[in-house]
Structure 1
Amino acid sequence: MSQPAIDISDTSAYQPRAAWFDGLVDCGPASIKLSLIESDPAKPIAPATIEKARALIEATGEKLAQTKHRGAGFAILHQGQEGLWLLLHWWIEGDIATQMLWRSKLSGEPHFIPAEPLLMACVWELGIIDFERRAWMETAMSGKPISDYLTRTMPRGTV
């Protein structure tokens, strides 16, 4: 049985986006490394948007505490072209990364709501996820303290 042709003519070409580490955020018993992605450097992420994201991460601490967490994780605040995305990951036993994902409209005051459950990450967010995977393997999974993982941060660059 042949698959129907998929029209990808509306798919835009890949353009690198600015990305960098913003700081640590307390999330209950864990420290979360927050990194940012901007699709348009002429429209930087508003400080109020970053603060809303930090507050949501902090408010998730109780849920994180109910898991067999390793005390660390990472988050990505992505100001894309069609919306704001907030991804929160934390490491649990077995070196598994959990995930919570929210979205918000670009216009107006940010209001993050849970994203559709089938979504995982876009191509730009996967760049940071790959960085965090490698950082975890090279620190926590190599017998080094979690504090070493937390100091391994995304350098300013592009994804």
Structure 2
Amino acid sequence: MNIAAADTSIYAPRTARFAELVACGPATIKLSVIEAHAAHAVKGAAIEAARAMIAGAGDRLAATRHLNAGFAILHQGEEALWLLLHWWLEGGIATHLLWRSDLDEEPAFVPAEPLLMACVWELGIIDFERRAWMETAMSGKSISDYLTRTLPRGTV
């Protein structure tokens, strides 16, 4: 069977960049941003809402065998505003929380469908963070070294 992807599934690079470090309970989270279109740039209200969601997940993070560090992705997509939060556990394991918000309103994140994980653009940042974790914390370097390894401005 030959199934072609719909036109909406055609890959086009999206801009991506590191935004800032955010506290999440006892951990520090590296927040990066993806923008589908320059006309749909991530605005201050979206960053504020993302900060609040990340901070609000501090109790969930603290209840795990966390390693005091992780990363988040705020993705201004075509269908929604997405927020992914990951933090590192022992053994090189990353956890996962995912929220979404409508695009046309003030950001109000709600949990996303549980089967969702990440889109192709978000996987670019996840791969960057995987490599940063392996090359720092999993290579005998400090968590601080991991936190200073941030996504360069570019595309995913």
Pairwise same-fold verdict (TM > 0.5): yes
After TM superposition, list the pairs within 5 Å mapping 1:42-121 onto structure 2. Answer: 42-121=39-118
Q: How far, CA to CA, are the matches of 2:74 and 2:46 in structure 1?
A: 9
Q: Which runs of 4+ in 1 moved over 2 A?
A: 4-12
- Counterpart residue identity of residue 105, structure 1: D
Q: Look up the match of 2:130.
A: 133
Identity %: 70
TM-score (norm 2): 0.96
| Deviation sequence 1:33-52 (CA, Å, 0-9, x none) | 00000001122111011100
Q: How far, CA to CA, are the matches of 1:117 and 1:9 in structure 2?
A: 24
* Structure 2 contact 40–76 (Cα < 8 Å) conserved: no
Could you tell me which runs of 5 or more consecutive residues in structure 2 were left unpaired when the two chains were aligned: none
Q: How far, CA to CA, are the matches of 2:20 and 2:57 in structure 1?
A: 17
Q: How far, CA to CA, are the matches of 2:131 and 2:35 in structure 1?
A: 22
Q: How far, CA to CA, are the matches of 2:87 and 2:132 in structure 1?
A: 13
Q: How far, CA to CA, are the matches of 2:142 and 2:18 in structure 1?
A: 20
Q: How far, CA to CA, are the matches of 1:9 and 1:128 in structure 2?
A: 24
| Larger relative helix fraction | 2
TM-score (norm 1): 0.95
Could you tell me which runs of 5 or more consecutive residues in structure 1 were left unpaired when the two chains were aligned: none
Shift of 1:5: 5.3
Count of residue pairs the alignment pairs up: 156
